[in-house]
Structure 1
């Protein structure tokens, strides 16, 4: 059981065997940290965000944590791995409680994403933004940010991000697509005592704590190109690349044997899409029986995919942390959304322990995702999130 108190938040994690036991440990840890202030959780917290390993009974956890912390808004999702203050974890739950003294929260639940309309979504998100603005000092939207948690199997991330981007104006959003421990069957969203599929949660925050959002990847484009010549855009399935069977052509371009393609191969050899002079990863989920490829992100016929060259993952991630510290000074906490393929790639290249230790040293909490949200983009094989500094009137520094 790991418990920590940081600037503006309380954090707890557990690897208890059962969902009910995990809920009891999380509730006790959060309540214990708040006991020093004399406040009950429902008085002290604007919300508790829980990232739950899919190996737990998610419904049982949601029901139990809600009953143990009555009156505290509960949010969360299932994961493909967890980021705790002790580093990367599995079969665990990490919970982040946001203190009312430092945060204002407006939550927006979006259901039935299979029939999500951008215009309708934009209107509901604009309503949430207006509701938050009415509760904070005028002109302080620059102190606002959003966290987006979304069903990792819905294939609607791009539509939701489009609605967010147009409705929130200058409020930055980061987040992740929920996971189910690489089974690719069902992912779950949590809202209070209930769980949902085909849904998303937008958490809009205002805070008096300095923060900045970030994006980190470790690839650069090569001269090798592949054109999507046959695809099912709704299912994100590519049947042909360069007018050849997709898996065969991908393996040829990246120098692998088609029969050896697996999740680790895709983690080590992503493809990129150029947008506005920047390159973003479009990761492959799996090879299908017919030789087609399923992707984690939207794919269209005619799209040009660029084969990527890997940089050093450790050095790229360290450079991101150093950049955040140059902007904020000391960083209290990172809330991170880290693609599961980054973790698989680290394991394949035998640097998982080093990266996990780097995350531990920099106090990263969050989860491994099936896709990452960064401002107006849905991306893959990327580490996104928000970094929190310290208030100028607070001289606390990390231990």
Structure 2
């Protein structure tokens, strides 16, 4: 582990965490962990087992007017590393953060012009503080199937403002996911947060997959539903199973996690993760898919070494981040647990002070992707020279 890494709590983030089967109890205990911080806003990452309406109502009562954003999750990254049943609250202090937010509802079908205009208006009204840095965060309904166009629309509307985010999850149930805004939980919706801070930041995004084998062609698909019926002219699930070397009956989330499909664009590979297989041998994906796409089977490489290397960050002064806000695909977590690497990976996340959640997809500078780690590393503010 890099010697620059500092142990202990972040200086510029307060963290509350609680595990309970009861929403009220989880919220009370998690809020206690925030240590009475003067928060500009709080991010709440909610485990699948908690009743979302009860959780949101309790957050409103106990955080007393502090804006709460966030979503339901497929897992959390807490002070303990990877977890599945913890309510995680991250409080961003007023002294170092300012924000403005917007809810996009009724996403399907998405209206790119309306979303772009609303985002531009929000950015114009958000007063800029001299010397502070700006970025944007997105939390989207992970089952809305609109994140691809949403991410690209916001990238254009916000004129290249660094944008990072994740799609809400529900613990691999694939039934209903929620985003939090305005004291309520919303489906078929997304939350945009414009964030300003005097902290330095660096964006990061990485995966651990390389292309293997020959290219394959999507020969039958429903793009709106992200569903593929044929690959290479054969029933999709049968051909996928043949490519990965198993029977259709053996296809499972664990197989999907280790064998995604890769799409090449501008000399870079983007992952198209498999969500599930239906009885008619159709395959549903977690990102955009279409007829005629040429894909390559992906195979994972050295996931721990990749994680350590990519999180080995430093600013110009050689100092590590104070904390990293992380959006980590749920399929990465599934692969890690399948390989019995939960403890070493959690140890890396703890030492790097990574906090966030496991997603149904990640957004990174205008692109919606799968099976990646996307994050924002925040560094302590730099002393500013006095103008004498």
Query: For the superposition of Structure 1 and Structure 2, which TM-score range results when normalised by the shorter chain?
Result: over 0.9
Q: Equivalents in 2 of 1:350, 1:79: separation in Å? A: 21
How far residue 222 of structure 1 moved from its aligned partner, in angstroms, is: 2.5
How does the TM-score come out when normalised to structure 2? 0.94
Partner of 2:5: none
Q: Equivalents in 2 of 1:70, 1:199: separation in Å? A: 24
Q: Secondary structure of the equivalent of 2:269?
A: strand
Residue 2 of structure 2 is aligned to residue 12 of structure 1: no
Q: Equivalents in 2 of 1:29, 1:349: separation in Å? A: 32
Residue from 222, 231, 237 that aligns with 2:221: 231
Partner of 1:367: 357
Partner of 2:164: 174
Residue 372 of structure 2 is aligned to residue 392 of structure 1: no
- CA contact under 8 A between 2:311 and 2:352: conserved in structure 1? yes
How far residue 171 of structure 1 moved from its aligned partner, in angstroms, is: 1.1
Residue from 109, 118, 134 that aligns with 1:115: 109
Partner of 2:289: 299
- CA contact under 8 A between 1:125 and 1:163: conserved in structure 2? no
Q: Secondary structure of the equivalent of 2:228?
A: strand
- CA contact under 8 A between 2:9 and 2:353: conserved in structure 1? no
Q: Equivalents in 2 of 1:191, 1:309: separation in Å? A: 38
Residue from 268, 278, 288 that aligns with 2:258: 268
Partner of 1:63: 57
Q: Equivalents in 1 of 2:217, 2:115: separation in Å? A: 32
Q: Deviations over 1:337-361 (max 9, x none)?
A: 1101001111111212211111111
Partner of 1:346: 336
How far residue 329 of structure 1 moved from its aligned partner, in angstroms, is: 2.2
Partner of 1:325: 314
- CA contact under 8 A between 1:217 and 1:383: conserved in structure 2? yes
Q: Secondary structure of the equivalent of 2:199?
A: coil
- The answer for unaligned runs of 5 or more in structure 1 is 35-43, 395-399
- CA contact under 8 A between 1:66 and 1:192: conserved in structure 2? no
- The answer for unaligned runs of 5 or more in structure 2 is 1-7
Q: Equivalents in 2 of 1:317, 1:81: separation in Å? A: 18
Q: Equivalents in 1 of 2:196, 2:349: separation in Å? A: 25
Q: Secondary structure of the equivalent of 2:314?
A: helix
Q: Deviations over 1:233-271 (max 9, x none)?
A: 111110000101101111111222221000000101111
Q: Equivalents in 2 of 1:17, 1:376: separation in Å? A: 37
Q: Deviations over 1:52-85 (max 9, x none)?
A: 0011011101101111122211111000011001
- CA contact under 8 A between 1:104 and 1:136: conserved in structure 2? no
Aligned residue runs from structure 1 range 41-60, under 5 A: 44-60=38-54
Residue from 273, 280, 292 that aligns with 1:283: 273
How far residue 170 of structure 1 moved from its aligned partner, in angstroms, is: 2.7
Partner of 1:26: 30
CA RMSD of aligned residues (A): 1.6
Task: Report the structure, 1 or 2, having the larger helix content.
Answer: 1
Q: Deviations over 1:289-328 (max 9, x none)?
A: 0001000001000011111132100001111011x22666
Q: Secondary structure of the equivalent of 1:291?
A: coil
Q: Equivalents in 2 of 1:163, 1:215: separation in Å? A: 20
Q: Equivalents in 1 of 2:144, 2:335: separation in Å? A: 24
- CA contact under 8 A between 2:153 and 2:366: conserved in structure 1? no
Q: Secondary structure of the equivalent of 1:305?
A: strand
Aligned residue runs from structure 1 range 96-107, under 5 A: 96-107=90-101
Partner of 1:150: 140
- CA contact under 8 A between 2:160 and 2:365: conserved in structure 1? no
- CA contact under 8 A between 2:42 and 2:68: conserved in structure 1? yes
Q: Equivalents in 2 of 1:22, 1:379: separation in Å? A: 31
Q: Equivalents in 1 of 2:96, 2:343: separation in Å? A: 34
- CA contact under 8 A between 2:202 and 2:378: conserved in structure 1? yes
Partner of 2:4: none
Q: Secondary structure of the equivalent of 2:331?
A: helix
Residue 85 of structure 2 is aligned to residue 91 of structure 1: yes
How far residue 389 of structure 1 moved from its aligned partner, in angstroms, is: 1.2
- Count the aligned residue pairs: 376
- CA contact under 8 A between 1:54 and 1:181: conserved in structure 2? yes
How far residue 223 of structure 1 moved from its aligned partner, in angstroms, is: 4.1
Q: Secondary structure of the equivalent of 2:14?
A: strand
Residue 237 of structure 2 is aligned to residue 247 of structure 1: yes
